[in-house]
A = this chain, B = another copy of it.
Amino acid sequence: MKIEVLKNVFAKNDNAAEENRELFDEHGVLCINLLGGAGSGKTSLLEAVLPQVKASLRVAVLEGDLATTRDAQRIAELGVPVVQLLTEGGCHLNATLVAHGLERLSLDEVDVLVVENVGNPICPANFDLGEHHRIAVLSVTEGDDKPSKYPLLFKGAACVVITKCDLLEHTDFDLDQATQDLRRVNPEAQVIRTETKNGGGMADLAQWILRRAEARRAGLRAGG
């Protein structure tokens, strides 16, 4: 019985995700689902990268959290339209909650929508939100064993960002080991290393997003 209900939950989510994706395509929006553990540096990445993306494309953000509107406030300070999605204790975003958030945005005025998921390396990876791409975040302070311990987080990601690389020398994080484990789980993902303090790698991530948006628009023009 439990399995039956879980199937229904996933089926319901998948339907809602498909509707979100159709909405994105109608409005020419590229949607990115940003996932990672608590404190892996997702919001800090957005603070560094969105101003660069925003220079050529119109950006909006849906901020997922269990409680508080702190992250949405940080994004709003960038002058980026943002809606806070509160799960009220729930451990992941689902496509229906995202759909409610979309009602609050003018999608015709958005080129790139980033959905920052709840800080959790496990459950969010199970729920399609209708995104076109996933970016998975891993900080060096979390440890190099995480790609093997949380494979699903990294498996579906088109891009993996290894954050806080400026702290590498203060940790036992083995970048080669982590990259090797990551490649075993996901041989295709683009891997980008970023540094919080001096902004290293942030331009690479901004470029990655811009190229994806460009490819998406070309695909839509070609009827793809």
Please give the residue numbers on chain A whose beta carbons come within 8 Å of chain B beta carbons, in ascending order: 1-2, 5, 8-9, 37-39, 65-68, 70, 89, 91, 118-123, 139, 141-143, 145-146, 148-152, 164, 166-167, 170
Contacts and interface: CB of A to CB of B under 8 A. Distances in A.
Given A91-B123, A120-B120, 15 more contacts: A1-B5, A2-B5, A2-B9, A38-B121, A39-B139, A39-B141, A66-B122, A66-B149, A67-B150, A89-B122, A119-B121, A119-B149, A139-B141, A141-B167, A170-B170
B37 A150 contact: no
Contacts of A1: 5
A122 B91 contact: yes
A106 B131 CA distance: 49
The 6 closest A-B pairs by CB, nearest first: A39-B142, A141-B141, A91-B122, A37-B38, A38-B121, A39-B143
A159 to B, nearest CB: 19
25 contacts: A2-B8, A2-B9, A5-B5, A37-B37, A37-B39, A37-B121, A38-B38, A38-B146, A39-B139, A66-B149, A66-B150, A66-B151, A67-B148, A67-B150, A68-B148, A70-B145, A89-B152, A91-B91, A118-B122, A120-B121, A120-B123, A123-B123, A141-B141, A141-B167, A170-B170
Nearest to A6: B5
Contacts of A145: 68, 70
Nearest to A1: B5
Contacts of A119: 37, 121, 149-150
A37 B37 CA distance: 7
A82 B55 CA distance: 54
Contacts of A139: 39, 141
Of A5, A9, A118, A141, most buried by chain B (CB within 10 Å of CB) is: A141
Contact of A170 (B70, B91, B146, B167): B167
A149 B146 CA distance: 22
